[in-house]
Amino acid sequence: MEFLTEFGLFVAKAVTLVVALIVVISVILSAAQKDKGEESGDGELRVRKLNDKYRRLRESLEARLLSEQDRKAWAKKHKKDEKAKAKADKGKRKAGAEPADPKKRVFVLDFDGDIKASDTDPLRRAITAVLSIAKPGQDEVVIRLESGGGLVHSYGLAATQLDRIRSKGIHLTACVDKVAASGGYMMACVADRIVASPFAILGSIGVVAQLPNFHRLLKKNDVDFEVLTAGEHKRTLTVFGENTDKGRQKFLEDLEDTHVLFKEYVSERRPELDIAAVANGDIWFGRRALDVNLIDQIQTSDEYLIEACEHADVISVTFQRKRTLPEKLGLATSAALEHTVWRVLSAFRNQKIQ
């Protein structure tokens, strides 16, 4: 037991030294990279053809259902066909041949929203890339959207990014598998068509704000808290100060005005919607949402994209920010610490069991 104790202390010292060195190196590298901007490559655009993904899934299953002899024959033929196709495509490119009837392209974007709509920046970059090559009236953009909403200004910007697609005359489809509520629905309503799964949550066209107030607690303990402002409405409600009916009324007026803007935004993009009936903050599941025209079709995103693969090139486009070296070192350090702690605890636990 004494040996294990000494070993644990040695490991703790070693880990402390390594962490200290990594922190120093990270600070130096972070300072060196501080002024590097977008031109230095702070992320990368990832493009993947979903037709190939679904085809490989199908072929994999087909091959597994064959006997071993048939599988070998199938693999040989498949390899031969792939080579012939690649050779033909290379010949066409070399000759500069243009297809008489270019195939439709469906560009697939993803947005997974938190309260701050943090995915807006990658979405903005992906949209910029797609709009540089997408052809109005021919190509389509599909946004796979998941969000329960969040900050008004953050989701307002995210929805405006999607507006860029429609303003270019490119058909936009929103696919919702789980939830597009509040700010999430603000984004979804921009689309020409909204497709949702049967139990996806939609709606929540409303505005909410809440904050605690500790004024009575401070007063009970003889603690004064003063809020000094210049401007009648600079501060309406406060967490620590005493809230007034006048400030509360102004705050409610601001909430109502935000709600009106939200309703107007949705109405402009879905004019067939009875906004008075659905803009009460309530939510609807997929099938019920179809009944009140919040969506246009019941279908999962997988079904929609697999069908699209039959008549179009379906291409997933995502922008992923590259991690800096300090961030990578931080992740590596965290993993190493977790592994070390687990090993030490395991050693002590085994000793105790013995």
Q: Do 315 and 339 fall into the same domain?
A: no
Q: Do 220 and 338 fall into the same domain?
A: no
Rounded to whole angstroms, the Cα distance separating 218 from 215 reads 5
Element (H, E) at 44: strand 43-49
Annotated active-site residue 182? The verdict is: yes
Q: Considering 94, 220, 234, 352, which one is annotated as catalytic?
A: 234
Under DSSP, the state recorded for 109 is E
* Cβ(215)–Cβ(193) below 8 Å: no
Query: What's the whole-number mean pLDDT along residues 67-84?
Result: 75
- Write down the pLDDT at residue 226: 85
With a CB cutoff of 8 Å and minimum separation 6, the contacts of 299 are 175, 195, 196, 197
* Cβ(257)–Cβ(181) below 8 Å: no
Q: Do 181 and 295 fall into the same domain?
A: yes
Q: Do 223 and 241 fall into the same domain?
A: yes
Q: How confident is the model at residue 162 (pLDDT cuts 50, 70, 90)?
A: very high
Q: Considering 26, 147, 154, 182, which one is annotated as catalytic?
A: 182
Q: Do 107 and 197 fall into the same domain?
A: yes
Task: Give me the sign of the Cα torsion angle 82, 85, 91, 94.
Answer: negative
Q: Do 194 and 310 fall into the same domain?
A: yes
Rounded to whole angstroms, the Cα distance separating 275 from 267 reads 7
Q: Do 150 and 186 fall into the same domain?
A: yes
Most confident of 31-35, 116-120, 336-340: 116-120
Residue type, 255: L
Q: Greater confidence, 315 or 40? A: 315
Q: Which domain holds residue 226?
A: 215-254
Q: Greater confidence, 84 or 244? A: 244
In this structure, the number of other CB atoms found within 10 A of the CB of residue 262 comes to 23
With a CB cutoff of 8 Å and minimum separation 6, the contacts of 4 are 347, 348, 351
Query: What's the whole-number mean pLDDT along residues 34-52?
Result: 70
Residue 41 falls within a domain, yes or no? no
Give the β-pairing of 312-321 and 43-49.
antiparallel
Q: Do 166 and 303 fall into the same domain?
A: yes
Annotated active-site residue 234? The verdict is: yes
Q: How confident is the model at residue 68 (pLDDT cuts 50, 70, 90)?
A: confident
Mean pLDDT of the chain: 83
- Write down the pLDDT at residue 39: 40
Rounded to whole angstroms, the Cα distance separating 175 from 140 reads 13
Residue 147 falls within a domain, yes or no? yes
Q: What percentage of the chain has pLDDT greater than the value 70? A: 74
Using alpha carbons, select from 294, 296, 297 the residue that is nearest to residue 266: 294
Most confident of 222-226, 284-288, 335-339: 284-288
This prediction's pTM: 0.73
Residue 259 falls within a domain, yes or no? no
- Write down the pLDDT at residue 83: 76
* Cβ(309)–Cβ(50) below 8 Å: yes
Q: Do 160 and 244 fall into the same domain?
A: no
Position 81 pLDDT exceeds 80: no
Q: Do 226 and 303 fall into the same domain?
A: no
CATH number at residue 310: 3.90.226.10
Position 35 pLDDT exceeds 50: no
SS3 category, 295: coil
Residue 66 falls within a domain, yes or no? no
Q: Greater confidence, 292 or 58? A: 292
- Identify the bridge partners of residue 145 per DSSP, sorted by sequence position: 111
Q: Do 50 and 169 fall into the same domain?
A: yes
- Write down the pLDDT at residue 334: 58
Specify the number of domains making up the chain.
3
Q: What percentage of the chain has pLDDT greater than the value 90? A: 52
Residue 81 falls within a domain, yes or no? no
Query: What's the whole-number mean pLDDT along residues 312-332?
Result: 75
- Identify the bridge partners of residue 258 per DSSP, sorted by sequence position: none
Which whole-number Å values give the CA distances from 145 to 142, 191, 241, 334, in the listed order?
Answer: 9, 11, 40, 31
Position 85 pLDDT exceeds 70: no
- Write down the pLDDT at residue 318: 94
Most confident of 6-10, 45-49, 75-79: 45-49
Q: Which of 11-15, 220-224, 237-241, 329-333 shows the lowest mean pLDDT across its residues? A: 329-333
Position 67 pLDDT exceeds 90: no
Position 6 pLDDT exceeds 80: no
SS3 category, 175: strand
Position 41 pLDDT exceeds 60: no
Q: Do 232 and 348 fall into the same domain?
A: no
Using alpha carbons, select from 202, 106, 117 the residue that is nearest to residue 154: 117
Q: Strand order of the sheet with strand 201-203? A: 179-181, 201-203, 283-285
Q: How confident is the model at residue 158 (pLDDT cuts 50, 70, 90)?
A: very high
Query: What's the whole-number mean pLDDT along residues 93-121?
Result: 83
Q: Strand order of the sheet with strand 312-321? A: 43-49, 312-321, 104-112, 140-146, 171-176, 193-196, 297-298
